[in-house]
Amino acid sequence: MATASLQTAAPGVDLEKIESVRKKYAEEAQKRLRPDAGAQFLTLKDANDPRLQALNEDPWANHVALNARPSPIQDSKVYPFFVVGAGFGGLLFAVHAIRSGAATAEDIRLVDAAGGFGGTWYWNRYPGLHCDVESYMYLPLLEETGYVPTKKYAPGWEIREHAERIADKWQLRDKTLFRSDVDSVTWDDSSELWTISLTERRGPRGSPVISHYVRAQYVYLAAGILTRPQVPRIPGLASFAGPMFHTARWDYDITGGSQKDQLLSGLRDKRVAVIGTAATAIGAIPEIGKYAKELFIFQRTPAYVKPRNQEDTKLEEFKASVATKPGWQFDRQINWNSFLTNSTSPGQPNLVRDGWTDQPAYSAMMGSPNQAELDTSSPESIERLVTNFHILDLPNMEAVRSRVDQHVKDPKTAEKLKPWYPSWCKRPTFSDTYLPLFNEPHVHLIDTDGKGPSRATERGLVVGDQEYPVDIIVLSTGFQLANLRAGSPASRIGVKVHGRNGYSLDKKWDTIGAATLHGYLTNGFPNLFFSGTSQATITGNNTMMLNFVAQHVTYMISEAKRRAGSNKRAIIEVTREAEEAHTAEVVKRAPYFSAIAGCTPGYFNGYGVVAADPATKQKAARGATWSEGTRSFLKYIGDWREEGELRGLEITLRP
């Protein structure tokens, strides 16, 4: 490791302190490692227990209105563009397909399991939900729609309504089939089209299920990654006699209130248990705490909680200092991103000034261009790299821990709420009300020392020998994710995808590991595109990423179509050589991410499973993200576009 910014011998650094903190981090991580890793959870959808399975049902779909709509799809028809998922990823693809001239709205069909637009923001409606990155950067297409978010961190309902706004502006509403699962996407070698098999689940409950088959020229997989609510396999959980629900399916019938009116009067005489203390819980718990008679918070690992500093948008100020010129939203995203990738220029202003921009060591996860002379040839140089991240991170995490002392009066409780892992192991959380809540007499922290409740009973939850009787259990236990590095784009979304000669996308990944051009298309699967961070870049602000993936992919399609002319169709396929060349660029830099391996278990590091055999290690390296950060990646794919040759793509023209 040779660049100045990655040296460990910075003056004034207390290396003994760093060592002792790292030792504590390692002990805490070790305490949480489990052989069953991700298998400790089960998805609500796949639960055998009917009670748990029922918790997965869509509480929000307006079946009467949806049943009255004419169906947007006709069986066997060929659609030019087919999009799996109608969250921001799917919407942005459709918008850019239209804006690039590759498609009209009429050419596009979207399908979503949900009963409306918004993806994450459709399903998650729990009280306290806001975006955790500034709304001026997070809500996409603000310039194009003219919308101004009401707050620095917009509430969930406003973000969902923005998704609806985008769908309406680009006439996508009557092109979208809701309440439908895409089951498989299969390439037909003779017609050279995709066949999509899907299941429409009309409501209310008990209504017949309808199978559909449609065909399409271009398919875009935008089915998200945080879509399958999961619960830990806590023995006896389903036997709990009171109401229980997952935060991704909030039950306002039980709590009272609604997404817009979060007066949870139904909790006033209730003892409520919350399992989980990560990003979702940090938003929901203070709202529950306002109303519940007693609140029991079952903590396995403390979140790291930074200040929120919420503000209402002042229109004049917004116009004067945020939306200052065309292209401001992208400029703002890039300005913010340069802090996350520890690559600001001297004198660069910090436009957003939030709790992301003061933690440069998050670049251990996001990548950084500060590695021109990265030397990963020896364990010693890797160790120096990792040590440097810890040096960079310590002031931030010390501030986070001392903030706990500032807000929580009881020192024992404060100690239990302190996070002992580096910043890059989890997504940061932001709240001004979470920590002070523990000073309230009706709020009880049940710290399980890294283990979670040992079992549930009819009456409540048990930790060790102690039973905690409660009336309601709220499951804030996250989502099942495929292995983010080694999982195929099909396994990430739980859809079966078969390409040329019936070859399965999962099988390709199992055999050789990730193999893509720029992260978004793969050989053997023509005219199929997907979003994601593997072999591409991770941005912190997810809609920024979804926006430029959509732009990049629709550039490829529109350019290929332009070459085909109006009376031919273009089949786009990346060559094996081109995807291996891109993969080699990713692999070469993958050791940069070595600091993640030592993280406390969680979905960022596949619950701590470290590949031991060389073949699995190699696959993990192939699936890494672009280690030089987002701006470097955008330059890399931007230069490729500039060449104007669609280098590495084979375009076959068909009548």
What does the binding site for ligand FAD look like in residue numbers (CB under 6 A)? Answer: 84-85, 87-90, 111-114, 119-120, 122, 124, 131-133, 138, 181-182, 222-224, 226-227, 280, 493-495, 531, 541-543, 546
Q: Which two tokens stand for residue 646?
A: 């669609």
φ/ψ of residue 561, rounded to 5: -65, -35
* Closest distance of CB 126 from ligand FAD, Å: 8
* Closest distance of CB 453 from ligand NDP, Å: 6
Place of tokens 């979670």: 452
596 binds, among ligand NDP, ligand FAD, none (CB under 5 to 8 A by kind): none
**What secondary structure, in 3-state letters, does 211-277 show?**
EEEEEEEEEEECCCCCCCEEEECCCCHHHCCCCEEEHHHCCHHHHCCCCCCCCCHHHCCCEEEEECC
Q: Which two tokens stand for residue 136?
A: 């001026």
Angle, in degrees to the nearest 10, between helices 88-99 and 156-169: 30
Q: Which two tokens stand for residue 64?
A: 């009467």
Comparing CB distances to ligand FAD, the nearer of 221 and 621 is: 221
Residues 336-395 that bind ligand NDP (CB under 6 A): none
Alpha helix (H) residue ranges in 247-378? 252-255, 279-291, 315-317, 328-340, 363-366
Sheet holding 472-475, edge to edge: 244-246, 472-475, 271-275, 294-299, 443-447
Q: Is 452 in the site for ligand NDP (CB under 6 A)?
A: yes
Among 135, 180, 227, 301, the residue binding ligand NDP under the rule CB under 6 A is: 301
Q: With CA atoms as reference, report the closest residue to 329 among 161, 159, 135.
A: 135
Strand partners, 79: 216
Query: What is the DSSP annotation of 347-367?
Result: T---SS-STTTT-GGGHHHH-
Comparing CB distances to ligand NDP, the nearer of 427 and 492 is: 427
Among 55, 86, 103, 131, the residue binding ligand NDP under the rule CB under 6 A is: 131
Cβ neighbours, 10 Å, residue 172? 24
516 binds, among ligand FAD, ligand NDP, none (CB under 5 to 8 A by kind): none
Comparing CB distances to ligand FAD, the nearer of 83 and 587 is: 83
298 binds, among ligand NDP, ligand FAD, none (CB under 5 to 8 A by kind): ligand NDP
Comparing CB distances to ligand FAD, the nearer of 112 and 294 is: 112
546 binds, among ligand FAD, ligand NDP, none (CB under 5 to 8 A by kind): ligand FAD
Intra-chain end-to-end CA distance of the chain, in Å: 54
Binding part of the chain for ligand NDP, among 49-57, 279-287, 323-331, 565-573 by CB under 6 A, reads 279-287
Residue 493 region, left (φ>0) first, then alpha (ψ -120 to 50), else beta?
Answer: alpha
Q: Is 453:461 a contact under the CB 8 Å cutoff?
A: yes
* Closest distance of CB 132 from ligand FAD, Å: 4
Q: Which two tokens stand for residue 533?
A: 């961070």
Among 339, 603, 626, 633, the residue binding ligand NDP under the rule CB under 6 A is: 603
3-state secondary structure of 298: strand
Which H or E element spans position 498?
strand 496-498
Comparing CB distances to ligand NDP, the nearer of 123 and 529 is: 123
How many residues form the binding site for ligand NDP (CB under 6 A)?
Answer: 25
* Closest distance of CB 256 from ligand NDP, Å: 22
Comparing CB distances to ligand FAD, the nearer of 255 and 280 is: 280
Comparing CB distances to ligand FAD, the nearer of 153 and 592 is: 153
* Closest distance of CB 215 from ligand FAD, Å: 17
Among 275, 297, 391, 574, the residue binding ligand NDP under the rule CB under 6 A is: 275
Rounded distance between C-alpha atoms, residue 512 and residue 615, angstroms: 9
Q: Is 217 in the site for ligand NDP (CB under 6 A)?
A: no
Residues 12-71 that bind ligand NDP (CB under 6 A): 32
Rounded distance between C-alpha atoms, residue 633 and residue 520, angstroms: 13
Q: Which two tokens stand for residue 627?
A: 């280690």
Comparing CB distances to ligand NDP, the nearer of 266 and 450 is: 450
Place of tokens 């396995």: 300
* Closest distance of CB 275 from ligand NDP, Å: 5
Per-residue contact flags (x/-) with ligand NDP for residues 419 to 438, judged by CB under 6 A: --------x-----------
φ/ψ of residue 393, rounded to 5: -85, -25
Torsion of Cα atoms, 596 then 600 then 604 then 605, to 10°: 60
Binding part of the chain for ligand NDP, among 207-215, 273-281, 521-529, 609-617 by CB under 6 A, reads 273-281
Q: Is 477 in the site for ligand NDP (CB under 6 A)?
A: yes
Comparing CB distances to ligand NDP, the nearer of 226 and 637 is: 226
Among 272, 278, 482, 490, the residue binding ligand NDP under the rule CB under 6 A is: 278
460 binds, among ligand NDP, ligand FAD, none (CB under 5 to 8 A by kind): none
Rounded distance between C-alpha atoms, residue 323 and residue 135, angstroms: 13
Rounded distance between C-alpha atoms, residue 384 and residue 463, angstroms: 40
Q: Is 253:245 a contact under the CB 8 Å cutoff?
A: no
47 binds, among ligand FAD, ligand NDP, none (CB under 5 to 8 A by kind): none
Q: Is 625:367 a contact under the CB 8 Å cutoff?
A: yes
276 binds, among ligand FAD, ligand NDP, none (CB under 5 to 8 A by kind): ligand NDP
Q: What is the binding site for ligand NDP (CB under 6 A)?
A: 32, 131-132, 226, 232, 234, 275-281, 283, 298, 300-301, 427, 452-453, 476-478, 602-603
